Structure 1
Amino acid sequence: MLTLTPTAAQAIRDLTATAPEPQQSGVRISSKSENAGSLTLTLANAPEPMDAVVETEGARVYLDPVAATLLDDKALDAGADDQGGVSFLVTDKPA
């Protein structure tokens, strides 16, 4: 299952703090198509019915079935981009 770094968990908590339903809000990672060529990350008020849910330190990530399979052995990290916005990065889990 995907893991979250402490930095990613904080970034997600910051992003969802002002959401209409902060107790259920999170980010959703989904595939753009069945071939899983690319993934998108969006804010979500709640998971979709088939989503896997990853929760770490109060931060929630919802994964559609394709994304859950692709990211099973990965970690989600976060950092700031050049303009001060949040950027997320998928990495291999530390050994």
Structure 2
Amino acid sequence: MTDEAMVAEDGSDGATHIQVKVRSVDGHEVNFRIRRTTRMEKVMTVYCARIGHPVADVRFLYDGERISWDSTPEDLGMQDDDLIDVMVQQVGA
């Protein structure tokens, strides 16, 4: 299942924007077109709203490293079509 979400849209060229995929282990995927300077908090919040989980229960990983709220794609060295992995925290006995 694939959804598209536009976090930033202003009609400018692709030099300031990148396309990233956010995918959970169950295969739910959302594509984002974001500015290289957009805080990842925005992407995380929108994705969690789409899947119906609280942000506190979800972990976002890029190249195996956890993504912090205040980092940007530029900080992380992200390129077009990069993948962000999502892990939903399991609670229970």
Structure 2-normalised TM-score? 0.32
